[in-house]
Amino acid sequence: MLSRLFAFIKFQLLSNNQHGVHSPFVYRFITKCLYASPHFKTSKSQNILLKTIAYFEIAEVQLIPSNIALEKEITKNIKGVSFTNTSNQLIYIDKFQRETIEKFIVDNNSITNDTVVLVNGIYQTENTHKLWESIKELNRVKVTMDLFYCGLVFFRREQAKEHFKIRI
């Protein structure tokens, strides 16, 4: 627990808001999605998930592991979303381990340039933070956003590899 507190303090000292971002894609996402209304009455990670689905108009979501309560929360707030076992639009990883990264990011052939991966709890333990750091180093990953509560991964080939720490 103490390590998470230190991680939060370090995150606050090193993170930016939209004014420290020089990527037009990331700046638009932060200002028009993360900082914009509506604010759903859920946890911070689920709020980010709902806002991301709405912002990118995502129709297909893969939840890892499957989560009926989260499916209900998503369909209650956003219409037209379906849930699948292999999505090339949005992959939400709630509990992740090395095997999860290998299966759903490294070896996943359905990932496209526009796929978004949201990883929950990247500072939950020291091990999950190390796994997050390993995701950032993958060749196919171009943009990551560390939001402390969760992390977002983008595979945009047209963008230079960048990692952002964003306060929300």
Query: Of 68, 30, 43, which is closest to residue 152 (Cα–Cα)?
Result: 30
Query: Rounded mean pLDDT of 65-81?
Result: 94
Give the Cα separation of 142 and 75 in Å (integer). 30
Alpha-helix runs per DSSP H in the chain: 2-14, 24-29, 44-56, 68-77, 98-101, 126-136
Query: Rounded mean pLDDT of 4-32?
Result: 79
Q: Percent of the chain having pLDDT more than 90?
A: 60
pLDDT at 8: 81
Bridge partner list, 165:
146
Residues of 8-38 as b/e, b for ≥16 C-beta within 10 angstroms?
Answer: eeebeeebeebeebeeeebeebbeeebeeee
Instruction: Report pLDDT digits (tens) over 101-125.
Output: 899 999 998 999 999 999 999 998 8
Instruction: Report pLDDT digits (tens) over 25-63.
Output: 988 999 999 988 888 888 899 999 999 999 999 999 999
Query: Rounded mean pLDDT of 145-167?
Result: 92
**Maximum distance among all Cα pairs of the chain, rounded to whole angstroms:** 41
Q: What is the overall mean pLDDT for the chain?
A: 90
Query: Of 91, 153, 143, which is closest to residue 122 (Cα–Cα)?
Result: 153
Token duo for residue 90: 């949005």
Give the position of tokens 């969760």.
Answer: 150
Q: At what angle do helices 68-77 and 44-56 cross, to 10 degrees?
A: 50
Query: Rounded mean pLDDT of 58-80?
Result: 94
Reported as a pLDDT band with limits 50, 70 and 90, residue 9 is confident
- Within 10 angstroms of residue 130's Cβ, the number of other Cβ atoms is 11
Is residue 133 predicted with pLDDT exceeding 90?
yes
Return the CATH class of domain 2-165: alpha beta
pLDDT at 41: 86
